[in-house]
Structures are given as structure tokens and as C-alpha cells.
């Protein structure tokens, strides 16, 4: 029954995806990655890395809208769980995201392209952080479409992190720096942590407890 329902949901969920926001993030990312080719310039490796990181961030910003659901309140009490719907949305976007990233990487000239595995780890971490942040916003607030707020927060946090994080953390190191390798261990940790947060925010609670109960003070009482 559940599998049949999920299969039949594919069409409506596909139509309900925030295609504009996802498309805008993807397009902006591709434009960034394609800049050297568009401008017929030969970027240095540092610029190529910066452009790919910018592309990954642009796509992640688009992803913050993935879980936006204007019909959230109407569908709040249906037997098909919110987690299933969220997972379906993610599954529908995942192949597109993989294709998009492949295209973005290939747009960077091979001779200046950063190590693909490492930069892919960074992009994956950014994407999962975006989804975890959206899932957290949905879990802790009553907003149906928190994407915009989450995108602004993610953008501000990324900028602040790039400017303020100690160099030895290596999150924004270049391949020639000694912090590159430890930096990617940190990216792996960020990816794992975000995945845990995302998974924790998926299920709808039966009782309000601990962190989530105290955070619910952020939810304003309803008017009635």
C-alpha cells in the first residue's frame, strides 16, 4: 500500500517541486562554472576552485527551497508521512543534481580543475547542509515555505565561515596548501553531521521532548 502510494505520488510531487528556485540555483552555478569558457580566459587553479565552490553554493541555495510546501498545513494530518514526501522530493532531484555537478565540473578546464573527489565532497556537504537546515526549519517552525529564510542564513553563514574560520581548519584551503587534506576530513565531518541532523528532523514527533520542546517557544501560539 505504502509503496503504491509513493509510486503514485511521483507525478504530483514532481509538479509540486519548487522548480524556479532549483532552476535558478542550478543555472547560476553553471554560469559560474562556465565563466572561463564564456569569457575565453584561462583561469588559474585558485580561480577555478573558487568558481566551483561558488557553483556548489549556488546550487545549495536553490536546494534550501526543495522542502518548501505551500500545502504543508492542509496535508499535516495525512497518513503518508512527511518524511516520505521529503525523501521522494530528494530522490527526484538527486539524479538531476548528479548530472548538474558533472556538467559544472566538466565546464572547468581540465588543466586547472581541482581534485574532483575532494571538491565533490565539498559540494555534497553544502547540499546536505542546505537540506538539513531546511528540514530543521520545518521541524522547528510552522512555516510552510522557509526556503528563502534558510537560503539567506546559509549564504550569510558561508560568507562568515570563509572570512572568519581559522586557516588551519582548511575548509577553504587550496590543493597546494597543507590544510587541504585535513580540511576535507572536516568537510566529511560536516557532511556526516548535517546528514544526522537531517535524519533527526525527518520523523514527526509523537510527544514534544527535550530540545524540540524548548525550541517550540519559537513557534508563536495560534490565534484561536
Partner 1 sequence: MTTTVSAAGLSLRYGSTRALDAVSLRLSEGVTGLLGPNGAGKTTLLKVLATAQPADSGTFTVLDHDPSTTGGRQEVRRVLGYLPQTPGFHPDFTAFEFVDYVAILKELTDREGRHREVRRVLAEVDLSDVRGKRIKKLSGGMRQRVALAAALVGDPGFLVLDEPTVGLDPEQRMRFRELIARAGEGRTVLLSTHQTEDVAMLCNQVVVMAGGIVRFEGTPAELTARAAGRVWSSAERDPGAMAGWRTGLGVFRNVGDPPAGAELVEPTLEDGYLITLDGMVAEVTA
Of 110 and 206, nearer to partner 1 (C-beta) is 206
Residue whose CB is less far from partner 1, 39 or 77: 77
Report the nearest approach of partner 1 to the CB of residue 127 (Å).
24
- Of the pair 23, 70, the CB lying nearest partner 1 is at 70
What backbone phi and psi angles, to 5 degrees, belong to 189?
-65, -40
* Rounded least distance, CB 93 to partner 1, Å: 17
Least distance to partner 1, CB of residue 67, Å: 14
Cβ nearer to partner 1, comparing 77 with 110 = 77
Looking at residue 77, the DSSP 8-state letter turns out to be T
Distance CA 131, CA 138 (A): 11
Could you list the residues that contact partner 1 (CB under 8 A)? 1-2, 4-5, 8-9, 12, 15-16, 69-81, 85, 144, 203-208, 213, 216-217, 219-224
- For every residue of 18-66, DSSP letters joined together read -HHHHHHHHHHHHHHHHHHHHTT----HHHHHHHHHHHHHHHHHHHTTT
Among candidates 88, 66, 82, which has minimal Cα distance to 17?
66
Nearer to partner 1, 7 or 192 (CB): 7
Tell me how far apart the alpha carbons of residues 1 and 128 are, in angstroms, rounded to a whole number. 30
Contact 148, 214 (CB under 8 A): no
Which residue bears the cell 538539513? 132
Least distance (Å) between residue 209 CB and partner 1: 9
What is the nearest approach in angstroms of partner 1 to the Cβ of residue 147? 14
Amino acid at each position: 500500500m505504502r509503496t503504491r502510494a509513493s509510486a503514485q505520488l511521483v507525478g504530483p510531487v514532481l509538479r509540486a517541486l519548487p522548480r524556479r528556485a532549483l532552476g535558478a540555483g542550478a543555472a547560476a552555478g553553471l554560469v559560474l562554472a562556465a565563466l572561463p569558457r564564456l569569457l575565453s580566459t584561462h583561469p588559474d587553479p585558485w580561480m577555478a576552485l573558487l568558481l566551483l565552490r561558488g557553483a556548489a553554493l549556488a546550487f545549495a541555495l536553490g536546494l534550501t527551497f526543495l522542502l518548501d510546501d505551500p500545502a504543508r498545513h492542509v496535508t499535516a494530518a495525512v497518513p503518508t508521512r512527511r518524511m516520505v514526501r521529503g525523501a521522494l522530493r530528494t530522490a527526484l532531484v538527486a539524479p538531476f543534481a548528479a548530472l548538474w555537478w558533472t556538467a559544472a565540473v566538466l565546464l572547468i578546464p581540465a588543466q586547472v580543475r581541482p581534485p574532483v573527489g575532494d571538491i565533490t565532497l565539498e559540494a555534497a556537504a553544502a547540499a546536505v547542509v542546505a537540506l538539513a537546515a531546511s528540514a530543521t526549519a520545518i521541524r522547528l517552525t510552522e512555516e510552510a515555505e522557509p526556503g528563502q529564510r534558510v537560503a539567506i542564513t546559509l549564504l550569510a553563514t558561508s560568507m562568515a565561515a570563509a572570512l572568519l574560520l581559522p586557516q588551519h581548519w582548511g575548509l577553504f584551503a587550496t590543493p597546494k596548501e597543507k590544510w587541504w587534506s585535513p580540511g576535507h576530513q572536516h568537510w566529511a565531518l560536516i557532511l556526516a553531521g548535517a546528514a544526522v541532523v537531517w535524519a533527526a528532523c525527518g520523523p514527526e514527533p509523537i510527544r514534544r521532548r527535550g530540545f524540540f520542546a524548548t525550541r517550540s517557544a519559537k513557534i508563536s501560539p495560534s490565534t484561536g
